[in-house]
Every structure is written in C-alpha cells, then in structure tokens.
Amino acid sequence: MSLNKHNHESDIDNANLIEKNKPYSQRDISQAMQEATRMLDIINTPEDKLTQTDRNWVSANVADNFAHHVNKGFLQYRKSVTETSDFALTDWWGQGSILRDIQGREYIDMLGGFGLYTYGIRHPKIVAAAKAQMDRSPQYSQEMLDPLRGQLARVIAHLTPGDLQYGFFANSGTEAVDGAMKLAKLYTGRRGFISTTGGFHGKSLGALSLLGKSVYREPVMPLLGGVRHVPYGDADAVEQLLRIADSVGSMDVAAVVVEPVQGEAGAVVPPDDYWPRLREICTKYDVLLIADEVQTGFGRTGKIFGVDHWNVAPDIICFGKALGGGVVPMSGFFSNAKVWSVMEPNPFMHTTTTGGNPLACAAALAAIQVMLEEDLPKQAEEKGAYLIEKINRLVEKYPNILKQVRGKGLLLALVFHDSDVGYQVVSGLFKRHVLTAGTLNNASVVRIEPALNIPYELLDEMLVRLEATLEEVASQLNTSSTT
Ligand SMILES: Cc1ncc(COP(=O)(O)O)c(C=O)c1O
C-alpha cells in the first residue's frame, strides 16, 4: 500500500484485507492433515504394494496442484502434460538412467536433471551414505565443530586445480555463485564483474546480475551495478574492457566469471586458448578469475573440472548439482588461502544455516568416492566421443533437420535448423520414451546430458529411437534424406 495514499482509500484497503484474511477457525486444518496423511501413507507404502487407486490419485492431482498451488505456467511447457494423453507423466521412481512414472511408464533419462544426476539416479553407495548419516545426525547443532564439513572440504582441496584449498558449502548453484561474488568483492574492494553473453549462473539477484539473457534480467532491473557482458569465447573482449578501465584509472572489476563450457546456452565449447588467455589477462590486471563449474564440475565434461581441459587454475571455483550425488542438494565455492583470508577476521560475514549439513556432506563424500572408483570423468570422455561420432552420422543422413552435435564429455547438444523442427524431434523422442529437454519456446538446441555411468546399451537404444524420430520428422517435413 502506498504510504501517501488518501486516508479514505487506506480504510477501504484495510477492510478488503480483513475480509480476505481467512480467520484461523475457518482454515482447512483438518483437510490439510488428511491430505498430508494420504500422501505420507503412499510414500510409506512399498512400491510393489501401491494400489492402482493410490497411483491414480497421485497422477490425477499433480497437474491440478501445479495449476492451483505451484505455477500453472509450467503446465504449458512440460511435455509430461502437453504430450501425454491420459494421466500427466508423474515423476516418481528412478534408478541409474531409468525414470519410471507413477503409472509405470519407463523413460531413458538423457537429461540427467541438467547435471544433477551425474552419477545416475539413486546410486546405491550415495544413498547408503546418506541413509547412514540420516540415522546419526542429518543437520548441525550450529555450535559444535562439524567433522563432515571439514573432511569434505579437505577432500575437495585435493581435487581442485591450483591451490584452491578453502571452501564454503551451500545448497544451490546460485548460492555458490553469489558467495563467490561476495568473496571477490571483499578481497578486491571493487564492485564490478565481467561475465558472458548466453552465460547462466543462477537466478538469485547476485548471480542473475551475471546471467547473459535479457528475458530473465530485464523485468527485475536494476540488478547489481558494474556488471558488463562480453561475447563468450572472446578473450580479446575481456582484455579490452580491462585495458580501458586500467588506462583511464577506473578499474572497478572484482572478477571475470565464466563457465568452462556453457551449459544452459547449449554445450558451447570455447576456443582452446580461451581459458589460458583469461588466466593471463586476469593475472595481468589483478582481477580474480571465477570458474562457474556448477554444471561442468565433478566429471561432466571428461575431466574432474572443466578448466582441467586447459590446465588453468582459477582464483575461485563454484560447484553444485553433481556434488550432492543426485541425492541431497549441495553446492559450494572454494578459493586459495590468500583470497580466503578476507573471510577470516569475521567468519560470520557469510553464513547459512543449512549449507554443508552432514547429510549433504555424507552424500558428497560418497559421490566423490563413486566418481573416482568408477573413473567417471573417463567414462564421460569416452561416451561423449562415442555419441558425437554416431550422431554426426545422423547429421549427414538428415542434414535438413539436424545441423550439428557439439559439446565436451557428456555435456552435449543437438543443434536443429529451427525451434519447430527441434521441438518435433524432442517430442518424437518423448513419445519413444526418451527424456530430453527443449520447450516450444527454445528447442533449436537440445542438451543431451545423461548420467556418466549410463550403460552403452542405453546409449545405443537412445540412438535407435533418435534415428526413428528423425526418419518420422523427415517424412512429415516431406524432406528427403540424402541416402
Ligand atoms: C553454470 C551454472 N551456474 C549456476 C547454476 C545455478 O544452479 P542452481 O539452479 O542450483 O541454482 C546453473 C544451473 O543450471 C548452472 O548451469
């Protein structure tokens, strides 16, 4: 309500507010209890004992609940609603790279939760570690020293490039990026950042300031001041901005923030000299280099971290998604001791109640163990190369539909000639029970990001279904393939 509103109008507003405010005695408290209990009974029933009535109740309600209590806008975009004739496809059960909806329909998961399921769904070792920790203490007292957090930070320090040794844990990728930005500001005393067009760093207000897409930024302007965007992959553009700022005495850049390979933009791989040059330029101008590895970290691109492809050590590294092993939300940012020293005089400068909780740390330790035991970075590299080779044959066979396959490791993207064709392929795959992402709005680039331990048989099965889909789309478009 506006403060300088006329008194009479304020009285009317107050009356409306009182009328709308459901009195405590009239709230549907018994209904809340009954509905919570119904869902809990279902959750607590073993999968093979669930009745068809229970299953129908869940899938009959999901779209309605989204429409009335989450966001009905989602329903227009989810193929699980738009492309499903009876019950909406309802997220329910998963193992490895197979997802099964509550009605028992099985899908090959080629989306991998956009990097969340790097180690597959419900990896037994990660689940076991989380369960064991759950039975001991899932959260911290907030006063005693927490051993799992310390141990996880130590383990990660062994894996990070350079001397990134100190870290802070949070729950989501966007929090990790926000924390990294704060650290860079504290260390340099400057307020500005350079990031890239098409870059994705999260949607909280700090990370959103770096994000390189107007659709998410413009409606909530102003964001953080002093952020400039340059084309991804263009080290000269970064250098030019820094050179000018330096030469006119207005250096206000705390850090350059970049994804090693752009994920959300569609598996965009930069030129090979990009990261080494960014390192050189940032060192020259005394600006921090932040690698946003939220999507690329922990094996996804074929190395433990994306920057490892170019042997570059950033000053700060952010990660998330895969770190919680696909079981518990987990993220973090790490830096070297010199940069971190600004956090030490007042360690409460950056805190969170739940970040780095024992449950998440147990899952993360198990996820790292699994990554190393199964050599998942190597699996990503080999399976990525395998898919690129096979899909390139499809590019040759269906040149009017599929333009290109690109990416690194198992962060790949199919590039279509336009959004309509891309959408037809994605929905054709969906009908053939292969899950990928691509909305009507933007389906010209579709990410393929499966679990790194996905069996070759499933990759082959996906390729068969992809080819069948391309064949169908080709005949619908009345385009003749070149064979
Ligand atoms: C590179 C990158 N940074 C940050 C984020 C934000 O992570 P979250 O969605 O967990 O906040 C994402 C999410 O896709 C990402 O890909």
Amino acid of residue 115: G
Distance from Cα 202 to the centre of ligand 1, integer Å: 5
Ligand 1 atom closest to Cα of 296?
A: 1
Question: Order of strands, edge to edge, in the sheet holding 98-100?
Answer: 93-95, 98-100, 106-109, 434-435
Q: Give residue-wise pLDDT tens across range 141-199.
A: 999 999 999 999 999 999 999 999 999 999 999 999 999 999 999 999 999 999 999 99
Each residue of 50-60: b (16+ CB within 10 Å) or e? beeebbeebbe
Q: Give residue-wise pLDDT tens across range 218-232.
A: 999 999 999 999 999
Q: Give residue-wise pLDDT tens across range 433-475.
A: 999 987 656 789 999 999 999 999 999 999 999 999 999 999 9
Q: Whose CA is nearest to atom 4 of ligand 1?
A: 201
Q: Give residue-wise pLDDT tens across range 72-118.
A: 988 877 766 666 667 778 999 999 999 999 999 999 999 999 999 99
For residues 382 and 18, the model is more confident at: 382
Residues 6+ away with beta carbon under 8 Å from 189: none
Question: Order of strands, edge to edge, in the sheet holding 227-230?
Answer: 166-170, 331-335, 316-319, 288-292, 253-258, 192-196, 227-230
Distance from Cα 319 to the centre of ligand 1, integer Å: 9
Most informative mutation of 208, 209, 294 for ligand 1 (most atoms within 8 A of CB): 294
Amino acid of residue 374: E
Per-residue pLDDT, 4: 42
Ligand 1 atom closest to Cα of 171?
A: 10
- How far, in Å, CA of 160 to CA of 154, rounded? 10
For 29-42, what is the mean pLDDT? Answer: 95
Distance from Cα 201 to the centre of ligand 1, integer Å: 5
Distance from Cα 207 to the centre of ligand 1, integer Å: 9
pTM of the model: 0.93
- Between the CA atoms of 331, 337, 341 and 344, what dihedral angle is there, to the nearest 10 degrees? 60
| Whether CATH 3.30.70.270 fits 376-476 | no
Per-residue pLDDT, 477: 83
- How far, in Å, CA of 168 to CA of 355, rounded? 8
Per-residue pLDDT, 197: 96
Distance of CA 168 to the CA centre of its chain: 18
Contact 246, 240 (CB under 8 A): no
Query: In 3-state terms, the chain is what percent helix, strand and coil (to 5)?
Result: 50, 15, 35
User: Do β-strands 411-416 and 402-408 pair in parallel, antiparallel, or remain unpaired?
Assistant: antiparallel
For 257-273, what is the mean pLDDT? Answer: 97
| Whether CATH 3.20.20.70 fits 124-373 | no
Distance from Cα 51 to the centre of ligand 1, integer Å: 38
Residues 6+ away with beta carbon under 8 Å from 408: 261, 267, 269, 301, 302, 306, 309, 384
Distance from Cα 216 to the centre of ligand 1, integer Å: 14
Distance from Cα 65 to the centre of ligand 1, integer Å: 26
Kindly state the percentage of the chain with pLDDT values over 70. Answer: 92
Distance from Cα 256 to the centre of ligand 1, integer Å: 17
What is the DSSP code (8-state) at residue 404? E
Per-residue pLDDT, 88: 78
Q: What is the distance between the terminal CA atoms of the chain, rounded to a whole angstrom?
A: 67
- How far, in Å, CA of 424 to CA of 478, rounded? 14
Most informative mutation of 117, 178, 200, 305 for ligand 1 (most atoms within 8 A of CB): 200
Ligand 1 atom closest to Cα of 114?
A: 14
Q: Whose CA is nearest to atom 8 of ligand 1?
A: 173
Ligand 1 atom closest to Cα of 202?
A: 6
Structure tokens that stand for 445 in this block: 């680039």
pLDDT band at 14 (very low <50, low <70, confident <90, very high): low
Structure tokens that stand for 238 in this block: 């970064």
Domain boundaries of the chain, sorted by first residue: 124-373, 376-476
- Which protein residues are within 6 Å of ligand 1, measured from CB? 114, 172-174, 177, 200-202, 259, 263-264, 292, 294-295, 320
Contact 109, 99 (CB under 8 A): yes
- CA-nearest of 419, 99, 398 to 266 is 419
pLDDT band at 26 (very low <50, low <70, confident <90, very high): confident
Per-residue pLDDT, 16: 59
